[in-house]
Amino acid sequence: MLILASASQSRKKLLENCQIEFLQISSNFDESLIKDENIPNLALELSFQKAHSLSQNIQKTLLPEDFNYGLLEILGCDSIFEFKGKAFGKPSNKEEAFIRWEKMSGEFGFLHTGHTLIIGNFDANYNMFKITETIKETVSSRVYFSKLEDWEIKSYVDTREPLYCAGGFALEGIGGKYIEKIEGCFSNVMGLSLPWLRKNLYKEVS
């Protein structure tokens, strides 16, 4: 059984569209506790902490009633957008989002998504999760943005979508029409590399 340790709706939608069975349980890990100037490393460490936090607190009450003992795979992800060496998280307000888009217009940046898959067995009799393997990797995609007019940026920012997205844009949303091309994994830009997950999710049964 796969558990997505995230409240992300875009990651949830990606898994649903691929018909991957999973449970979504947010880890509620405090991301402000982790600091690292290396952006890909930061994304990876945050993904690990999300998955690890949930693995330490998983309880029988969170799992389906008929789940007694078996394989559990806990997936933690964290996405950070890097633009000219700086980490761009979610803009704090519309003004910041506008200024960012002025800079990103006609340029490119990198969307780094840290992936952690913690694999183990859950024993319902002892209410205990025993970890057997941890797989970690950061997947990076290069994102090219269209050259935009100020009115286009303002129109997009006024939708407020940028305020809820790492980097201030959503490929799967309104912002998708402002992205010229992507080099690397497409789904990674939406917060989860599906090819990475496919390669690692069924490792133990192959």
Identify the CATH class of 2-205.
alpha beta
pLDDT tens digits along 44-85:
999 999 999 999 888 766 777 766 667 899 999 999 999 999
Return all residues near 122 (Cβ < 8 A) that are at least 6 apart: 58, 60, 63, 67, 69, 70, 72, 128, 129, 130
Using CA atoms, how far apart are residues 44 and 97, in angstroms rounded to an integer?
Answer: 25
Query: pLDDT above 70 covers what percent of the chain?
Result: 95
pLDDT of residue 203: 62
Q: Please determine, for residue 204, whether its predicted confidence score (pLDDT) is greater than 80.
A: no
Mean pLDDT is lowest, of 75-79, 85-89, 157-161, for 85-89
* Chain mean position to CA 63: 22
Above 80 in pLDDT, residue 205? no
Q: What is the set of active-site residues? A: 78
Query: For residue 24, what pLDDT band results from cuts at 50, 70 and 90?
Result: very high
User: Cα(188)–Cα(113) distance, rounded to whole angstroms?
Assistant: 7
**What pTM, to 2 d.p., does this model score?**
0.90
User: How far are the Cα atoms of 43, 90, 129, 156, 175 from residue 144, in angstroms, in the given order?
Assistant: 20, 18, 42, 17, 12
What is the reported pLDDT for 30?
75
